[in-house]
Amino acid sequence: MNYHYDIFLCELGKFFVLDSLKGLHFCLQSSDSRVKKLKNKYQPQKGLVNKSIAKELDLYFKKKSKLKKIKISILEGTVLQKEVWRHLTKIAYGKTISYSDLALKTNKPKAVRAVASAIGKNPIAIVVPCHRVISKDGSLGGYAWGLKMKAKLLDIEGSGMADSTYRGGK
């Protein structure tokens, strides 16, 4: 399989994007420690296979796309991680869910920390919306690249009608 990559620049910084004919495999901050390992492991060529990925990401940051058109294909992860990431894709645009509610949805109600750890290892940030998971009390919780970025991503998706304390609701 031939892998391809590019660097996507947006208001939140630079993102490393890796894809193939099977879909988008990784979308990580360029400074993420995983990027160097991925380049060594997959030996990607410069230039994405699916040129529309960058366009969709750009439209997302302009509040004109919900990223539904991007086909994803997970290359790495444990069974639990892949299950958590699958459930992340079901969280509606502009909505949030608590870590404990996500643990319930993955049939691991007592494994909230393991679910949170899986969220933190999400290989396809933004497109697989780990930023939509917040603390039960409505606060942001954590985020691999900092709470400032998480808040910005949630603000991009915000429409003024909140479903969490963070969004001004409950």
Which alpha helices (DSSP H) does 75-165 contain, by range?
79-88, 99-105, 112-120, 147-157
Mean pLDDT, rounded, for 26-30: 97
Residues of the chain with CATH 1.10.10.10: 79-157
Asked whether the predicted pLDDT for residue 161 surpasses 50, the reply is: no
CATH architecture of 79-157: Orthogonal Bundle (1.10)
What pLDDT band is residue 118 in, cutting at 50, 70 and 90? Answer: very high
Which is catalytic among the residues 130, 133, 134, 140? 130
* Mode of pairing for the β-strands spanning 4-10 and 13-20: antiparallel
Catalytic residue flag (residue 10): no
pLDDT of residue 158: 87
Percent share of the chain, pLDDT over 70: 93
Q: What is the pTM (predicted TM-score) of this model?
A: 0.90
Can you say whether the dihedral through the CA atoms of 106, 143, 59, 166 is positive or negative? positive
As a whole number of angstroms, the distance between CA 1 and CA 136 comes to: 42
